[in-house]
Chains A and B, each alone.
Chain A
Amino acid sequence: MAEVKINSVTKLFGDVKAVDDFSIVIRDGEFVSILGPSGCGKTTMLRMIAGFERADAGEIYIGSDLVSSAVRKLFIPPEKRKIGMVFQSYAVWPHMSVFDNVAYPLKIKQLSKRDIKEKTNTVLEMVHLGGYSQRLPSQLSGGQQQRVALARALVAEPDLLLLDEPLSNLDAKLRESMRFELKELQKKLNVTVIYVTHDQSEAMAMSDRIVVMNSGRIQQIGFPMEIYDTPVNRIIAEFIGLVNIIDAHVRQGQVTIPDLGLNLPAQQDFEGKAVVEIRPEHITLSRDQTANIQGIIIHKFYLGDSIDWRIQVNDIVVRVIDRSSSFKEYTIGDKVGLQIQNILLFPA
């Protein structure tokens, strides 16, 4: 069983709470991403799970083993936890061959030479580095070194695999293909994965669930669709995907958006100053002069698979990303009508 339970873990650096009251239960075989901007505490949390930092409060269970407890003053050092980890810099040892790098955890466990050879070669095949066992890291590309790191993390058949922004040093195409490979590997081995990243499309593409963090605190835990369509606060909405941020006001169950000239029933039960956030892809353009919102096109950017429009509506500029209309359909200066599919409402 490689369920991971993190209970109210907090980490302080001086007075700063790098991680504040972090709690989650991760199921066996689940792929969970911790997503957030730089400095949000995600790497610190990962390092606490690995054992490279000590929690100041809270407890961590890996499987049925309690590996860290502040109140019970219990701390299992990293070498005794059954975890595989891929570091952001790969940390492939330059003085050892690919084979020796990957075999190292098995050597520590003192398996027989034959077992070591067999398991190491198996895992090297799995990451498509079958013929590379005698090469030195300096003879490998970045992507290949990363696979070595991955192979080493998996060779001892750990219950839990931790990955710290493993794809950030790769080029875009390689990143995409590695995402797919990692996911395939995880499903095949059925290993629980905790994946730290600041790249939201990566997190959304690969995860069963996403934990969004900011300033040390968990903002939301949910399925990718939940995080994207129903973010619980501004921070998440603005970090994931694009949004138009427009001032608004809520009074007696009605939200007023002066810049758009709209007055709608509010589905949130707070009063006072608010913001309305609309994703650019949730707005469509038309020549309909009777639409509620009218605007004038002031910019258009051709992106290949879509068009990025800037529309002047009253005193504000609204960004619209439209896949349905073509570039030549409207020109700068045209009057257009805006149709909005989905509005997110948050207190200001």
Chain B
Amino acid sequence: MDTKWIIIFLSISVLVIFTVVPMLYLIFRSCVVEGVVDFSTYRDVYRNSVNWTAFINTFYISIIVTFLSVVISFPLAWLVGRTNLPGKYFFRTTFITSYMIPPYVGAIAWTQLLSPNAGYLNEWLVHIFALSTAPFNIYSMGGLIWCLTIFHSPFAFITISRALEKMDPSLEEASRIAGASPLRTLWKVTLPLMFPSILAGGVLVFIGVGSAFGIPAIIGMPGQIEVLTTRIVTYVYMGTGKGIRDATALAVSLMISANLILYVSTMLLSRKDYVTIGGKSTRPVLVELGFWKWPLTFLISLYGLVAIILPIGSIIVTSMIKSLSRPITIDNLTIANWLTAIGNQQYMDPLWNSFLAASITATCATGIALFIAYLLVKTGVSGRSIPDGLATLGGATPSIVIALALIITFSGEFGLNLYSTMTILIVGYMVKYLTMAVRTIAASLNQIHSSLEEAALNSGASWLQSLRDIMLPLIGPSIVAGWFLVFMPSFYELTMSIILYGSGTKTIGVLLYELQTYADPQDASVLAVIILVIILVSNVILRKVSKGAIGI
């Protein structure tokens, strides 16, 4: 049989075994007990008011955060993309930076800033305004929503920004010529046309928030606020059969909710057929902000400061403090903590584990993604979009659901026991992040005319030779970009790792979570700084390689 098809078939098999089978088995286990369809697990689980509240909380929080994210992101995207706001590049970079920070690191930073008694920001505000008590408590619903909004709104910002960039400026120009003011144009033309991408961005945020674990665990739980993900992890940690069953019921609820939302939004989006992408690459006429320029610049800078610079600063400062009981002054800062951490085996092992797991995941994912993307873009076989669809499904499924599904499928049930091995971590990461590589490589393949490959075949090259000599050099940058786009989130991943890790495979995310939860915030901060540096470096490489096309 053709080499090409063998390889493609193998790639798809891997995908099916590790994505479809576990998901289906999870659903199966949640509603089939001893061979009989039985929904009693669901009944029992939701009869417990903590769980029911968690379910409501998840939805409530997701809706509010999505709303806030969109309300913040759209104006920001418009201001940065369509007006004469100064410092565009700086603002754009700042807002997207929060996407780069692992959410749990952000949560840790905010506990340092706004913990009710000792938070830096609280202390500063008490001092400045001579208050009797600290004004903010991060361990509250408000705090949780605040933190989630800051770290998930970039998804909406990026989606909306990109769509705005691609939108044909002449649509808005026609409105201006017809006599409409910039604001009216924004309201009557831009906003309606942007609706699909706003919806898309909103869905990304909604699902991301519903699936989040790090921030709810670090900020919500101490405030007695639980969501589905935290309940699932708690149940898994019980270690009992019943615990797993209860977790399964909750996980399936989460999964079905997420898929439903995705499905509905896809239906809605496919109906609205706005062809707004302009063919000519003309730059849009920028809206003059006039009187509003400096007030808006000030406001946005304030947001940037509070949302991003403050937390990062807090982490760095905490990591360098000699003694927490003394105030923050230069002589209370040292880099000795960093040096101790680097020399500490207990910290370096998980760092190495994460690095290794993420690298292997990225490499395998890129390889599989190449063939899935090739199948999708370059062949006319019916069903060619199925593997891509499966990868996308994996990406849209809440991480906790993937992890749980993998646990119950691969703990010996089918002869394969991967529990607590590095393999299961890699499999989990790959299921979740494969789609990043597929999207990137597919986009690049799309731009290569089929005649380039045909000319190679015509010159006598086999399919593999053509792949090696012609395709790979031309899509090389996107392959490297895909590698990094899988590496980064896998590296700092927490939600899956926290229930999949074993004694020898603790990852950096898990370590950080433990340090924070068992009150060693300083060491947590040191590690957080190390993680941030690694991600920053990865991102710089990513930008270089893709010539600025991908990355922040």
Contacts and interface: CB of A to CB of B under 8 A. Distances in A.
Nearest to B476: A95
Interface in B50-64: none
Interface string A44-71: 0000001110000000000000000000
Contacts of B470: 93
A59 B96 CA distance: 59
Contacts of B451: 87-91
A95 B457 CA distance: 17
Contacts of A88: 451
A85 interface: yes
A93 B459 contact: no
Interface string A94-130: 1100000000110011000000000000000000000
Contacts of B473: 95
B465 A108 contact: yes
A80 B462 CA distance: 9
Nearest to B474: A95
Contacts of B459: 79, 104-105, 108, 152, 156
A78 interface: yes
Contacts of A108: 459-461, 465
Contact of B454 (A78, A80, A95, A104): A78
Interface string A310-348: 000000000000000000000000000000000000000
- Identify which of B456, B460, B470 gathers the most chain A CB atoms within 10 Å of its CB: B460
Nearest to B469: A104
A94 B455 CA distance: 13
A89 B458 contact: no
Nearest to A50: B458
A79 B455 contact: no
Contacts of A156: 459-460
Contacts of A90: 451
Chain B contact residues: over half helix, strand or loop, or mixed? helix
A104 B461 contact: yes
A87 B454 contact: yes
A241 interface: no
A101 B28 CA distance: 56
Nearest to A81: B458
A171 B220 CA distance: 69
B458 A94 contact: no
B461 to A, nearest CB: 5
A85 B460 CA distance: 11
Contacts of B457: 51-52, 77-79
B474 A104 contact: no
A347 B271 CA distance: 49
A9 interface: no
B450 to A, nearest CB: 9
Given A91-B449, A93-B470, A85 B461 contact: no
Interface string B435-464: 000000000000001011011111111100
Nearest to A82: B460
Nearest to B473: A95
Nearest to B451: A91
A50 B459 CA distance: 11
Nearest to A100: B469
A93 B458 contact: no
A78 B451 CA distance: 13
Contact of A91 (B455, B460, B461): B455
B174 to A, nearest CB: 33
A348 B341 CA distance: 93
A32 B461 CA distance: 27
B455 A152 contact: yes
A83 B458 contact: yes
- Identify which of A51, A85, A149 gathers the most chain B CB atoms within 10 Å of its CB: A85
A105 B474 contact: no
Contacts of A92: 455
A217 B390 CA distance: 43
- Identify which of B451, B455, B457 gathers the most chain A CB atoms within 10 Å of its CB: B455
A61 B191 CA distance: 61
B378 to A, nearest CB: 12
A93 B452 contact: yes
A186 to B, nearest CB: 18
Nearest to A95: B473
Contacts of B465: 108
Given A95-B473, A104-B469, A109 B460 contact: yes
A91 B454 contact: yes
Contacts of B454: 50, 52, 78, 85, 87, 91
A51 B461 CA distance: 13
A142 B455 CA distance: 17
Contact of A89 (B449, B456, B462): B449
A84 interface: yes
Contact of B462 (A51, A79, A85, A109): A79
B475 to A, nearest CB: 11
A85 B458 contact: yes
Interface in A260-293: none
Contacts of A95: 473-474
B452 A91 contact: yes
A104 B466 CA distance: 11
Nearest to A47: B454
Interface in B467-488: 469-470, 473-474
- Identify which of B452, B462, B474 gathers the most chain A CB atoms within 10 Å of its CB: B452
Interface of B: 449, 451-452, 454-462, 465, 469-470, 473-474
Given A85-B455, A90-B451, A104-B456, 15 more contacts: A50-B458, A51-B457, A83-B458, A85-B454, A87-B454, A87-B455, A88-B451, A89-B451, A91-B454, A91-B455, A95-B473, A104-B469, A109-B460, A152-B459, A153-B458
11 contacts: A77-B457, A83-B458, A85-B455, A87-B455, A88-B451, A89-B449, A91-B454, A93-B455, A95-B473, A152-B455, A153-B458
Q: Report, nearest first, the 8 A-B pairs whose CB atoms are least far apart.
A: A91-B451, A105-B459, A91-B455, A108-B460, A87-B451, A78-B457, A85-B458, A79-B457
